[in-house]
Amino acid sequence: MSAASDRLREFLHRVAGGERSRLNPRYLHGQLNDWGRRVVDARLWESPLLRRAAGVVCMVLALLVIIVPFDLTQQLLFSAVFLLVALYLRRFVGTLVTLLLIGMSMIASTRYLYWRLTETLSVDFGLDLFLGTGLLLAETYAWLVLIIGFVQTIWPLRRKPVPMPEDVSTWPSVAILIPSYNEPLSVVRPTVMAALAQDWPRDRLKVYILDDGRRQEFREFAELVGATHITRDNNRHAKAGNINQALPKTEGELVAIFDCDHIPNRSFLQMTVGQFLVDPKLAMVQTPHHFLSPDPFERNLGVFREMPNEGALFYGLVQDGNDLWNATFFCGSCAVIRRDMLLEVGGIAVETVTEDAHTALKLHRRGYNTAYISITQAAGLATESLSAHVGQRIRWARGMAQIFRIDNPLLGRGLSLAQRLCYINAMLHFFYGLPRLVFLTSPLAYFFLEAHIIAAPAAMIAAFALPHLVHANIANSRMQGKHRHSFWAEVYETALAWYIFVPTTLAVINPKLGTFNVTAKGGVVERDYFDWKIATPYVVLLVLNLVGFLIGLVRLFWWNTHETGTVLLNLLWTLYNLMMLGATLGVAFETKQIRRSWRVRSRLPAMIQLPNGRTLACETEDYSEGGVALVLNRPMELAPGTEVMLTLYRGDRAYPFPVKVVYSNGEALRLQFHNLSLDDYRALVAATFSRGDAWQEWLPQEEADRPLRGLAEIFKFSLEGLRRFGESALLAWRARQARQRFKEVL
């Protein structure tokens, strides 16, 4: 009996668990990958006719799947099978699987929109039709952005730098422009020092400080360090006008532009300029914007360096996707532009307040190429407060709407279809204000007015909507997972929706309305506080959704018991909106930030020399302009105030600095730089911020995005945000009561 059991187990293992079993996941995984490689590498795809025929067949099949009508049971069965296939495929790696998941998402979303257009609008003219049409338009906008976004990022180029030739006499001359307006010299100083320290022939490099603030201390600093100080007698067209005014006064075949807080790596020019030597039609090379300080979302929610920030998606995926289509956007900083081509389009664009993207559009219309190198080669400061962050995004949104209005990429000559789509998607992105507000308030139409804005049974709505939402999430998680966790886009959009809705609308009506605002950097937040002014729209939306939810409970148990499914669907929708609003309120609670020079966590080799001449090898834990933290190789205590010498190393170069002990616990030291000379400061920047590898290990190794984990993250931050809001509201009420009592006493 035992032998028979063993044979049975062996047989079952071969059938269901063996390495070569056709039911074994590993075997299936290998077979799928082998099949995918054979399909992709097949020589028959070299035939253009066959490729077009395959494309037509796929489109016809997709169209049939989109338009075929199903009843509820059939739709549920179709959705279940479609979802199981997607969940199975997402386990595998490879571009082919990614393309399949994208295709499935496009089919599910387009099927949902087709069903909404053909079967869910009210036939009666009235409130239901009016509100339902508004929701449908918002959904159409979201679908359009989703589809174009897939096309835009379907195959990131991942361009590699072109090495510079050994003969430095062939290297082009470069002018580095650093525009500044109201930033303190402490913010601009390290940028200028790092620009001067570029690994580039001295006779082919000049650094210019474009000082729109016309400050004497900047002129003196420039003379002291070997830079050129340029001013003008007006501030017309802000940053764009500042650069344009300086162009005739500068020298260099290429122009590199840095915001005054963006500290370039010493390798920046060597990583970017090689592209110009191999492509005579190349007009611009852009690199990522990287921030060594947390933005308001990261700081106020306490997630700095724990998850991708708001800009990671654009610089980590979108720009690489644009590069495939020769549609890389100029981002205003960390870029190199060919001077003659820039002058050919009239310099930096001044017609809109997003002068950078508009300049790139003009270059593309002339038929010039652009490139993106997704290797961080500079680091700057993020906005310090939510209000400053909102102001910056308002400017971007207004500028994109201006371009949409006066130089629409869908119109005019010079652009390929792919370039037009990349630009139009970037502009459409900033029109999400009204659609997001529609999504945040749509379920309230039923709770407050009993309006049925989707004329279909709740079960049917769920059967069509859930596949659309789930497949979009799966595909986006697959493509964007390293650069944005699931559901975080909704938090960013919720925080900004109200504020960008009005400027984008006005800019489309009249592009000249509004003013330019400069995003200040290097400021502080002196205390914890809840920003009631910026949070007012979130509070109003939160109260409306809370009241709506309570009314929904009444409808569920007493008023609308005949349509329980509809009530439940709207209750779930409202709960989701409340979660997003709670997380947004958490961002509006500004946390204290008094540090003016940010610490950069990095393990660098170091050595300290004690007053008695002894030396001790160690390594840095973090560094800033003000000091450094060290991890000691062996225990040793030093009294606070002790003056020692610190040596930092970059390759075979040693950089000694006088420092003073601030803190010591035997295993770690915190040191403050002491009496640094100008040469010491120049060496400090070279040894730290402008290292060629300064930002390559900035983020920890990220796990693959898991949508349910992303949802749990937002739920946690939502609860914390609601708690902080409740405490702030209670404190505000008590303060008001105290003021009232004080007035009564007087």
What is d(CA 712, CA 661) in angstroms, rounded to the nearest whole number? 43
- Burial profile 188-224: b = 16 or more Cβ within 10 angstroms, e = fewer: bbbbbbbbbbbebeeebbbbbbbbbeebeebeebbee
| Contact between 284 and 338 (Cβ < 8 Å) | yes
| Residue showing tokens 């050919």 | 344
What is d(CA 522, CA 184) in angstroms, rounded to the nearest whole number? 8
For residue 32, the one-letter residue type is L
What is d(CA 376, CA 292) in angstroms, rounded to the nearest whole number? 12
| Contact between 360 and 422 (Cβ < 8 Å) | no
| Contact between 437 and 501 (Cβ < 8 Å) | yes
Known catalytic residues? 212, 356
| Contact between 178 and 191 (Cβ < 8 Å) | yes
Q: Which two structure tokens, joined as six digits, stand for 686?
A: 């070279």
Angle made by CA atoms 639, 640, 646, in degrees to the nearest 5 = 90
> How many angstroms separate the Cα of 445 from the Cα of each of 132, 448, 538, 554, 567?
10, 6, 18, 15, 12
**Alpha-carbon torsion angle 444, 445, 450, 454, nearest 10:** -110
Q: Quick one: residue 412, left, alpha or beta (phi over 0 = left, psi -120 to 50 = alpha)?
A: left
| Contact between 563 and 451 (Cβ < 8 Å) | no
What is d(CA 212, CA 181) in angstroms, rounded to the nearest whole number? 5
Closest-CA residue to 371 (of 426, 332, 322, 409): 322
Altogether, the residues listed in the chain come to a count of 746
What is d(CA 296, CA 596) in angstroms, rounded to the nearest whole number? 15
